[in-house]
Amino acid sequence: MTNIVNLFAPPECSAVDSLGEVFLVGAGPGDPELITVKAMRLLKDADAIVYDRLANPVLLDYAHKHCDLIYVGKKKDQHSLPQDQICTLLAALAGCGKKVVRLKGGDPFIFGRGGEEVEHLAAQGIACTIVPGITAAIGCAAATQIPLTHRDHAHAVTFITGHRQQGKMHINWDLALQRDSTVVFYMGLSNLKEITAELIARGCPTNKPFAVVAQGTSNAQQVLVGTVGNIADKLAQHPLPSPALLMMGDVINANTYAQQLANLTSTAKPVSSAILEVI
Ligand SMILES: C[S@@+](CC[C@H](N)C(=O)[O-])C[C@H]1O[C@@H](n2cnc3c(N)ncnc32)[C@H](O)[C@@H]1O
C-alpha cells in the first residue's frame, strides 16, 4: 500500500548521510503508454512521487508500496499548492535523502514550470535530472493526424501560451501570424474567442484552418475543426472540456481530415477520436 501524503505537512526526517535527488519527469499528454521507458523505471524506483493534475494517475500504479504519493495538482485560478511551496517540498523531500520523482503532464519544460523547480533545487545544491516527455502539441498532432510541419504547408511550428496573467494575454501576435507556420496555443480554451478575434483584427484570413483538440490522446479525445472565422461559434455550440489545445494552420486539411480519422485503425492506439464538426 503506497502512502498518500498530506501535502501541507512538510516532511520531517532525522539527519541523513547524503541528500537525495529529484527527477523532473514528463508523463506525456494523456495516453499513459506515451511515457518513456526511463520515466517508468524512475517511477518504480522512487521514494516519493509529487504529481500534477495532468499526469495520468494510472502511472502511479508503477510506484512501489512504500512510495509516498503527493498530489500538488493545480486547477485554473485555483492552485492547490503554490509553486514556491512545491519547490520547497521537493527540496525538503530530497533533503530527507529520498529519490523524488516530480511527475508533470507532457514535458516538464514546455509550459510546465520545470525551469523554476530546477533553479530552486540548484540553489539548494540538490541534484536534479530532467526526463523529457511528449508534450501535448506533439501527442495531439499524432492522435489527430495533423502533421505539424508538413512541408507543403508549414516551415515552422510555434508553441504559444494563450493563458492570461493578471487579466492580460501576453501573446506575441507577430509570431502567431507568421506565414507558412503552424501555431499551437496551450491554455487558450477559455480565451479562444478573444484570440481568434485579435488574429482577425491583425489580418489573419478568416478561412485559416483551426482545430481544438480536447483531452488529446486519451479515450475521451474530442476534436473540433473549423476556421479562425467560425471556430468560436462552433465551440459555443459544442463546448469542450479542458485540457485542450488550439491549433492553427494550413496543415489542418479539413477535406481529408474526417477521412483520415475515420481510417485510423491502429491497434497500438487506444484513442477513439470524436470529430465534432468539420468546416
Ligand atoms: C500548464 S500546460 C502544461 C503543458 C505540458 N507541460 C505539456 O508539455 O504538454 C497545460 C496545457 O497543456 C495543454 N494540454 C495538456 N494536456 C493536454 C491534452 N491531453 N490534450 C489537449 N491539451 C492538453 C492544454 O492547453 C493545457 O491547458
Out of 98, 131, 164, a domain closes at: 131
Nearest 5°: phi and psi at 227?
-130, 170
The number of folded domains in the chain is: 2
Residue 251 burial (CB count, 10 A): 21
The rounded Å distance from CA 243 to ligand 1 centre is 6
Kindly state if the Cβ of 30 falls inside 6 Å of ligand 1: yes
Does 229 lie in the same domain as 270?
yes
Does 245 lie in the same domain as 159?
yes
**CB-based contact 70:10 (threshold 8 Å):** no
CATH of the domain at 54: 3.40.1010.10
Reading the chain (279 residues) residue by residue, the pLDDT tens digits are: 455 555 555 677 777 778 999 999 999 999 999 999 999 999 999 999 999 999 999 999 999 999 999 999 865 556 568 889 999 999 999 999 999 999 999 999 999 899 999 999 999 999 999 999 999 999 999 999 999 999 999 999 999 999 877 778 889 999 999 999 999 999 999 999 999 999 999 999 999 999 999 999 999 999 999 999 999 999 999 999 999 999 999 999 755 555 555 555 444 444 445 565 554
Does 159 lie in the same domain as 30?
no
Ligand 1 mutation pick, 107, 157, 186, max ligand atoms within 8 A of CB: 186
Does 145 lie in the same domain as 85?
no
**CB-based contact 155:164 (threshold 8 Å):** no
The rounded Å distance from CA 234 to ligand 1 centre is 21
Distances in Å between the Cα of 98 and the Cα atoms of 45, 47, 105, 267 are 11, 6, 22, 39
